[in-house]
């Protein structure tokens, strides 16, 4: 997979657009009682939202492999951001963390399932995004090049008269 400068820019843009919802959903899944607005651990809602979040990478990127790679990068960045949110009591509020391995292992154990949903939903979202882009392009092409009456297919009567 060879990436050009424009591909990297598209990846970066799509990653920045889609990473924060992933971070929020992950954190919300960990603490549905204190986060707002909460999805209350509704996996169907998480999955549908991850499809929606995957759409811009498929819509903006022309290459499918770039779109797929973008899904991986924004899920990774979003999950990392969620870990940063999870660390707030010990970074912002200066509390002392005991047994950090267990603390982060708990987060990983509870939210690991979501990574699968985010990646799968993201891939499906890119497909939808590409379909929408192709549909819009087809529509635009149709408007730019209206049908020429001369090139219209002949009707049965016209054929018979000839």
Where along the sequence are the contacts to other proteins (CB under 8 A)? Answer: 5-6, 9-10, 13, 16-21, 23-25, 27-28, 31-37, 56, 59-60, 81-82, 84-86, 88-89, 92-93, 95, 106, 110
Cβ proximity to other proteins: between 86 and 117 the closer is: 86
Distance separating alpha carbons of residues 24 and 18, to the nearest angstrom? 11
Distance separating alpha carbons of residues 87 and 122, to the nearest angstrom? 26
Are the CB atoms for 125 and 53 separated by under 8 Å?
A: yes
Cβ proximity to other proteins: between 56 and 68 the closer is: 56
Cβ proximity to other proteins: between 37 and 149 the closer is: 37
- What lies within 8 Å, CB to CB, of 153 at 6+ separation is none
Cβ proximity to other proteins: between 86 and 123 the closer is: 86
Distance separating alpha carbons of residues 125 and 130, to the nearest angstrom? 9
Q: How far is the CB of 107 from other proteins (least distance, A)?
A: 10
- What lies within 8 Å, CB to CB, of 73 at 6+ separation is 11, 15
* 31-50 per-residue burial string, b: 16 or more CB within 10 A, e: under 16: eeeebeeebeeeeeebbbbb
Q: How far is the CB of 33 from other proteins (least distance, A)?
A: 4
Cβ proximity to other proteins: between 59 and 123 the closer is: 59
Q: How far is the CB of 59 from other proteins (least distance, A)?
A: 6
């Amino acid at each position: 997979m060879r990436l050009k400068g424009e591909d990297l820019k598209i990846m970066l843009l799509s990653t920045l657009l889609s990473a924060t919802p992933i971070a929020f959903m992950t954190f919300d899944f960990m603490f549905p009682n204190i986060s707002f607005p909460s999805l209350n651990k509704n996996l169907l809602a998480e999955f549908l939202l991850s499809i929606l979040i995957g759409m811009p990478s498929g819509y903006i990127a022309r290459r499918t492999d770039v779109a797929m790679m973008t899904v991986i990068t924004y899920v990774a960045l979003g999950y990392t951001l969620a870990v940063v949110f999870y660390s707030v009591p010990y970074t912002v509020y200066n509390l002392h963390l005991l047994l950090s391995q267990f603390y982060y292992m708990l987060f990983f154990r509870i939210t690991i399932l979501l990574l699968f949903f985010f990646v799968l939903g993201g891939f499906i979202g890119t497909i939808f995004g590409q379909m929408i882009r192709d549909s819009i392009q087809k529509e635009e092409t149709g408007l730019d090049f209206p049908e020429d009456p001369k090139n219209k297919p002949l009707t049965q009567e016209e054929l018979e008269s000839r």
